[in-house]
Amino acid sequence: MTTAPVRFLHGGRWVEASPARPTRTVLEWLREEARCVGTKEGCAEGDCGACTVAVGEPAADGMRYRAVNACIQFLPTLHGKHLVTVDNLHGVLEGAPGLHPVQHALVAHHGSQCGFCTPGFVMSLFALYESKRRAGETAVTREEAIETLAGNLCRCTGYRPILDAAQSMLDIARHGEGLPPGVDQGEDAALAAALRALPDCAVPDFLAPRTESDFDQLRLDHPDACILAGGTDVGLWVTKQHRALGPVLYLGRVHGFDRIQAASDALVFGPAVSLTDAWAALVAEYPSLRDYAQRFASPPIRHAGTLAGNVANGSPIGDSMPVLIALGAQVLLQRGGAQRSLALEDFYLGYRRTALAPGEYVRAVRVPRLPAGQWMLRAYKLSKRREQDIAAVALGIALHVAAGVVQAARIGAGGMAATPVRARRTEAALTGQPWNQATVDAAAQALHAEFSPIDDMRASAAYRSLAAANLLRRCWLESQGRVVDLQELPA
Ligand SMILES: Cc1cc2nc3c(=O)[nH]c(=O)nc-3n(C[C@H](O)[C@H](O)[C@H](O)COP(=O)(O)OP(=O)(O)OC[C@H]3O[C@@H](n4cnc5c(N)ncnc54)[C@H](O)[C@@H]3O)c2cc1C
Ligand code: FES
Ligand code: FES
């Protein structure tokens, strides 16, 4: 087989790399080959943020920079992108020598901590800085700063000086210590064009087609190849379970796979649409999902991971599925040129078993638009930590209440069974009934009894059943404009 190197820009330097295996991580390459050891390894599973780097990609209007975890990104996925790391940060985009405004801000606010967490904090803030520059925005709110750093853990000191630095980095840039936060559009466009013009790479066992028909054919020819989307699940099979994956079929380079189609009756998400973009579209449609969307992992995981990957992976505690089931989502499965569609709840056959046939893949996730003003949508996630944690229980609830009566109900649940599930008996207990305390109590009892969740380190079965029932009660109280006092709920 002919090979061709992986090509990308690292800081200001063009790089050609020829990894011996497709699963060599960006972090391994940085530390072992490039000898850029400022980027650290903490957990090697996307959890701690020590390895955070920024990746720039050509976008419609120039370049777009986002923070990702280098420890679980495979090197060949960098082809045609711009990697920015803490070692080459200063002056990298603006041509200015010395510290970058983000670094200045951290020094000025005493936000620099140990050598493990600080490089990650710097790079998460750098990605925020770049997105602000490109959006022409001049301020960072406290909330934005907190959300940006949700995937950067420090167990030792405090976040306050770092948050202060985040809020002052654009001012520091404007007032002389660095360049103003504008962007040279011409330079951005030229870089995007140069990246787009790179010839394809060819890495053994890394199949990275550019067209949908090539992807379909390769999927048929290699039904056992591991489909790779964002790698936020697959990456851990390599770094934590030390699995040899064999051939990898990457969908991140297929033209059009990252498209969100906004039809009049539905939003349709292609298989490479990131969780960041997918949840932004869902929140724009359903603002009540905002808090839930922010609870999904951390920004670096959401930038790399995809909605379709979350659905295909089929974890019983995945965050997207309870909401998508409540919204009546369907998965579009493709094999060769042929497509079929399944209700999302019917896609799951058992613990991490799906209805995918050999040669088939998730071509899209279709989320119907609920008629405006008619439905109430709520989503809740219970986990031990607010940020960067997996759910013990999650519930998505869509209700159509008219004239005081529940006309229709759809409820999706996570953490309650071996797969994401639809709570049909609970829906039946609600439908056709007056929307009042008595109905909600009856439905909460139905939900309590409907599933037999497992006991594990995240939560006991009894906790899960009770908590799910109480989330339904919480939905009722919120619908009455009540701030929920936890003492009111059954213990
Ligand atoms: C630190 C950390 C925190 C996390 N937190 C959360 C969380 O809060 N909530 C949550 O739900 N998840 C969480 N996850 C899990 C993960 O981020 C999600 O499941 C993510 O959506 C997976 O998408 P991906 O694109 O990275 O999938 P990948 O890792 O690329 O693939 C996942 C699986 O799906 C298959 N696959 C991918 N795309 C397709 C397709 N189109 N067709 C068929 N098969 C496909 C792959 O072969 C693989 O089996 C977390 C992961 C990490 C590492
Ligand atoms: S090393 Fe912890 S997130 Fe990568
Ligand atoms: S982990 Fe770096 S100071 Fe706490």
Band the pLDDT of 483: cuts 50, 70, 90: low
Residue with token string 């390459």: 29
DSSP run (H or E) holding 257: none
Asked if residue 95 has pLDDT above 70, the reply is no
Q: What's the token pair of residue 443?
A: 């439905």
Distance 227 CA to ligand 1 centre (A): 11
Q: What's the token pair of residue 125?
A: 């803030």
Q: For residue 34, what pLDDT is reported?
A: 97
Chain centroid to CA 332 = 20
Q: Residue 202 phi/psi, 5° resolution?
A: -135, 105
Residue 194 DSSP one-character state: H
> 203-217, 338-352, 366-380: which range is least confident on average?
366-380
DSSP run (H or E) holding 361: strand 361-368
**Alpha carbon distance, N-terminus to C-terminus of the chain:** 63
If you average pLDDT over residues 195-213, what whole number do you get?
A: 96
Residue with token string 């390599």: 238
CA distance 315 to 417: 10
Band the pLDDT of 184: cuts 50, 70, 90: confident
Q: What number of CA atoms fall less than 13 Å from residue 469's CA on the CB side?
A: 25
Please tell me if the CB atom of residue 450 comes closer than 6 angstroms to any atom of ligand 2.
Answer: no
Q: How many helices (H) and strands (E) does the chain have?
A: 17, 19
Distance 103 CA to ligand 2 centre (A): 21
Q: For residue 180, what pLDDT is reported?
A: 53
Residue nearest to atom 3 of ligand 2 (CA): 46
Residue 466 DSSP one-character state: H
Q: What's the token pair of residue 224?
A: 């056992």
Q: What number of CA atoms fall less than 13 Å from residue 276's CA on the CB side?
A: 15
Nearest atom of ligand 2 to the alpha carbon of 40: 1
Please tell me if the CB atom of residue 48 comes closer than 6 angstroms to any atom of ligand 2.
Answer: yes
Please tell me if the CB atom of residue 154 comes closer than 6 angstroms to any atom of ligand 3.
Answer: yes
Asked if residue 334 has pLDDT above 70, the reply is yes
Distance 121 CA to ligand 3 centre (A): 10
- Quick: pLDDT tens for 361-411: 999 999 999 987 789 999 999 999 888 888 999 999 999 999 999 999 999
Q: For residue 99, what pLDDT is reported?
A: 84
CA distance 409 to 438: 16
- DSSP E strands in 222-316: the ranges are 226-228, 248-250, 260-262, 266-269
CA distance 130 to 71: 22
Enumerate residues 6+ apart whose C-beta is below 8 A from 83: 8, 9, 10, 11, 15, 26, 53, 54, 55, 56
Asked if residue 321 has pLDDT above 90, the reply is yes
Q: For residue 481, what pLDDT is reported?
A: 85
CA distance 295 to 292: 5
- Find the ligand nearest to 159 CA: 3
Asked if residue 491 has pLDDT above 90, the reply is no
> 22-26, 84-88, 91-95: which range is least confident on average?
91-95
CA distance 425 to 412: 12
Please tell me if the CB atom of residue 158 comes closer than 6 angstroms to any atom of ligand 3.
Answer: no
DSSP run (H or E) holding 367: strand 361-368
Q: For residue 2, what pLDDT is reported?
A: 84
Please tell me if the CB atom of residue 153 comes closer than 6 angstroms to any atom of ligand 2.
Answer: no
CA distance 386 to 371: 31
CB atoms within 10 A of CB 196: 10
For the chain, the average pLDDT equals 93
Asked if residue 157 has pLDDT above 60, the reply is yes
- Which of 106, 155, 159, when mutated, tests ligand 3's pocket best, judged by the most ligand atoms within 8 Å of its CB? 155
Q: What's the token pair of residue 142?
A: 């406290």
| Signed CA dihedral, 461, 462, 467, 472: sign only | positive
Band the pLDDT of 183: cuts 50, 70, 90: confident
If you average pLDDT over residues 203-216, what whole number do you get?
A: 97
Enumerate residues 6+ apart whose C-beta is below 8 A from 455: 461
Band the pLDDT of 92: cuts 50, 70, 90: low
Percentage of the chain surpassing pLDDT 90? 84
If you average pLDDT over residues 27-35, what whole number do you get?
A: 97
Enumerate residues 6+ apart whose C-beta is below 8 A from 244: none
- Quick: pLDDT tens for 211-238: 999 999 999 999 999 999 999 999 999 9
Q: For residue 408, what pLDDT is reported?
A: 97
Please tell me if the CB atom of residue 387 comes closer than 6 angstroms to any atom of ligand 1.
Answer: no
Q: For residue 415, what pLDDT is reported?
A: 96
Residue nearest to atom 28 of ligand 1 (CA): 231
Asked if residue 437 has pLDDT above 70, the reply is yes
Nearest atom of ligand 2 to the alpha carbon of 47: 3
Sort strands 226-228 and 82-84 into parallel, antiparallel or unpaired. unpaired
Among 398, 404, 400, CA closest to 377: 398
Among 168, 122, 117, CA closest to 142: 168
Asked if residue 113 has pLDDT above 60, the reply is yes
**Do the Cβ atoms of 178 and 100 come closer than 8 Å?**
yes
Asked if residue 29 has pLDDT above 70, the reply is yes
Instruction: Write down the pTM of the prediction.
Output: 0.96
Nearest atom of ligand 2 to the alpha carbon of 69: 4
- Quick: pLDDT tens for 439-457: 999 999 999 999 999 898 8
Asked if residue 485 has pLDDT above 80, the reply is no
SS3 371: coil
Enumerate residues 6+ apart whose C-beta is below 8 A from 14: 7, 8
Q: For residue 373, what pLDDT is reported?
A: 79
Q: For residue 186, what pLDDT is reported?
A: 87
Please tell me if the CB atom of residue 275 comes closer than 6 angstroms to any atom of ligand 1.
Answer: yes
More confident call, 435 vs 98: 435
> 23-27, 78-82, 357-361, 370-374: which range is least confident on average?
370-374
DSSP result, 375-419 = EEEEEEEE-SSSSS---SEEEEEEEEEETTEEEEEEEEEESSSSS
Distance 184 CA to ligand 3 centre (A): 35
